[in-house]
Structure 1
Amino acid sequence: MPSAAPYNIDDYESLLVVLQDVLGVVVPESQRSCLLDRIEPLLARYSLESLAALAQSMKGGDADNVKSSVLEAISKRQSDWVLNPSIVNILQKYVFDQLPDNADIWFVGCGQGQQAYSVAMEIAEYENRKDDNKNFQLLATECSNDDIKQAESASYSSHQLSRLGDGYRKLYTAAGDDADSGIIKDKIRQNIRFSQCDLKEDFHSLGKFDLIICPDVLVYFSNGVKAGVLRQFSKQLKPGGIFLTGHNQAVLPFSDGFERVDHPAGVFYRQKN
């Protein structure tokens, strides 16, 4: 916690304990320096005077709104177009080749849509290179409804779009309604849909997938919650389906529903039949 923060260190530590006990969320060390910046607006929203009061309210019987707001604030990801290079490499050099036409793909934790659109752009690049339309169907989910609305609009400021590579920006975006915005072109948007999803709830209604991509969401969950989420992921995959995650996120210690595959293009996990 920043030393200048006007909060009791014991209250801060107590909040971390409640986050894990109530939400199953573990705040990574790398995220703790900005935790207060994300949490502080919630104190005013719910008329709470301290972190201790926030922690106590999360343990109440009628705390769903507070818990949802805290979870959204903590897990909110940086809005960036750049995908993990290891994921891009294995998609282009192996995974896309293995998927059937009309394959169903789920991108977990899409934020405001940038990385999900980046996956759709990678699919377009693959199809152009192969001169073949695979018609992959992409579902992208996030726990925040506000982020989903932004993603569905497909509209981004010039500053946001400046972080997208020049080549992709020229190929896959068009001018927006004003001079300071741009919009994702229909050829990228047409096979992608966005939906709100809380991974701590039952998500079997989303359907079955040939590929699940989950770059970084698992890092926020305690081991128990992570095991439950991975168990559900394995059930959401079609037989032999593929699961991709960040290179620093362990899978096998928490789930026996996958087998690790070390391919020359990179590491992935396959659903056990």
Structure 2
Amino acid sequence: MNGTLYVVATPIGNLGDFSPRAQEILRKADLIAAEDTRHSAALLRHFGITTAMISLHEYNERRRAELLIARCREGLSVALISDAGTPLISDPGYRVVRQARHAGIEVLPIPGPCALVAALSVAGLPSDRFVFEGFLPAKTGARQARLLQLAEESRTLIFYEAPRRLLETLQAMIEAFEPDREAVVARELTKRYETVQGGTLSFLLSWARQTPESSRGELVLLVHGAEKEQDAIQQEALRVLRPLVAVLPLKQAVALAVDITGFKKNRLYQLALELQAAKKH
């Protein structure tokens, strides 16, 4: 008979969040696939777990997936963990889980901590509908393009971000979403210096500049979705832009639309590009 693949959540900070069930599964498993075996060794040692480990990270996942599936086919049980939180959420493991399911191997979740869910639960932003975007592109142009694509998204937006990029990401969000969009920076969740700071994007940028420690540790950024009135604003912008784009160079059409509507230049430029592309097709 095939063995089982367990997807096991581990603490994101506070070791008290490591469930007894998760600990027991890791003790009984034949093999643990860990994102970083050196990092996970300290956690396992703390709880007296001596199960053998093998690395599974973004650079070896394709090769490791075949090996782990083979072990499960031999009847062994494999536990998948990441450095912190729930595996596969901006962490390796997707290929292993997918191949295991295709191979008819039982895949069982051992739920527990997840930074994005923890942040959403305390952010005070709408939580009935949300979208997780993971990490934004590191390059300025690609990051700005992605944020502009999300400018009209009405669901709460959740991002992970490297602490060293917090200031530039907040600035990029101001340019894409407007300065007064409500947002939250959740930092070092469940750890000693846990911080959940809310406010407008412009306030958060000012706060981050004045708070050096804000650019250290693990970060989750949450942004309020676009209000419904944004739909009416977009329709007005399109009404003005369509005839201008039809007869004028793009930059001139956008400049005139800004003068007429008072809307933000970046958003009008994005809409103008979309109109221009549609015209070509």
- Alignment TM-score > 0.5, same fold: no
TM-score by length of 2: 0.23
Larger Cα-atom Rg: 2
